[in-house]
Copies of this chain bind each other. A is one copy, B any other.
Amino acid sequence: MIMKSSNVVWHQSTVTRQNRQEQNGHLSAILWFTGLSGAGKSTLAHAVEDALCKMNCRTFVIDGDNIRHGLCADLGFSSEDRVENIRRIGEVAKLFTEAGIIVLSAFISPFRADRDRVRELVPEGDFIEIYCQASLEVCEGRDVKGLYKKARSGEIPNFTGISSPYESPEEPEIIVKTGEDSLEACAQQVIEFLQVRGIVQPTSA
């Protein structure tokens, strides 16, 4: 765009995603962690981020902690609001990829259609769906936040896995067995995928 003032011409410059990726030494992508409450999505996302940070990558985790009281503070848990919640998270994740960052999103995101909508929002290959597979028994057994207990007693309605369905991914890029494997092993599995895909550089062993 050229903008003509009285006597000066203003040119619009652009720093591209490509520029940023070169600056960072890695590609950007969305790592979309999905699974039941208590499956370990957020903990795994932070562990992967920690490993990537040690490899000098630029990363950011979006999860309930920084989204629910901020960007999506106006949304409740109705079906409509849950769709809008995931839509906004997808749009924010997209902005982060444009900024050259590996963004890790950790939300139950129980519905296939919502996740697929985010996948379609970005260029092919940018959306990496990571299914955090843990049985309801394991998740409910952990019940870190006491939510399952409240869901069973009816105090929390529409709780995924109890009173609302979880639609597991049909063709996720990665399945991590967060109900069985160690955090370290799960994180390593994600890092290796990113290396094979060429998103980050292989680590010198």
Total count of chain A residues near the partner, CB < 8 A: 55
Alpha-carbon distance between A11 and B187 when the two chains are bound, in angstroms: 12
- Interface 9-mer from A45-53, A148-156, A168-176, A194-202: A45-53
* A54 CB → nearest B CB, Å: 9
User: Does A78 count as interface, using CB distance less than 8 angstroms?
Assistant: no
A40-B95 contact in complex given A13-B47, A56-B23, A58-B58, C-beta closer than 8 Å? no
Question: Which residue, A8, A19, A38, has most C-beta atoms of chain B within 10 A?
Answer: A8
A12-B60 contact in complex given A4-B142, A71-B88, C-beta closer than 8 Å? no
A59-B23 contact in complex given A91-B70, A95-B70, C-beta closer than 8 Å? no
Alpha-carbon distance between A99 and B95 when the two chains are bound, in angstroms: 12
Against B, the Cβ 8 Å flags (1 = close, 0 = not) of A91-105 are 110111011110000
Point out the residue from B43, B44, B95, B138 that lies within 8 Å of A6, measured CB to CB. Answer: B138
A8-B71 contact in complex given A46-B13, A60-B99, C-beta closer than 8 Å? no
* A164 CB → nearest B CB, Å: 22
Point out the residue from B14, B49, B58, B92 that lies within 8 Å of A92, measured CB to CB. Answer: B92
Task: Please tell me how many copies of the chain the complex holds.
Answer: 2
Q: Could you tell me if B50 and A183 are in contact, using CB atoms closer than 8 angstroms?
A: no
Within 8 A of B (CB), among A22-44: 23, 38, 40, 42-44
Name the 6 nearest CB pairs between A and B, nearest first.
A60-B99, A71-B91, A13-B50, A10-B183, A70-B91, A8-B182
Measured between beta carbons, the chain B residues less than 8 angstroms from A204 are none
Measured between beta carbons, the chain B residues less than 8 angstroms from A138 are 5-6
Who on chain B is nearest to A51 by CB? B13
Alpha-carbon distance between A8 and B98 when the two chains are bound, in angstroms: 37
Q: List 26 A-B pairs, Cβ < 8 Å.
A: A1-B43, A1-B144, A3-B43, A4-B142, A5-B40, A5-B142, A5-B178, A5-B179, A5-B180, A6-B180, A10-B40, A10-B47, A10-B183, A11-B43, A13-B49, A15-B50, A15-B53, A23-B53, A60-B98, A62-B95, A66-B98, A70-B91, A71-B88, A71-B92, A74-B84, A99-B101
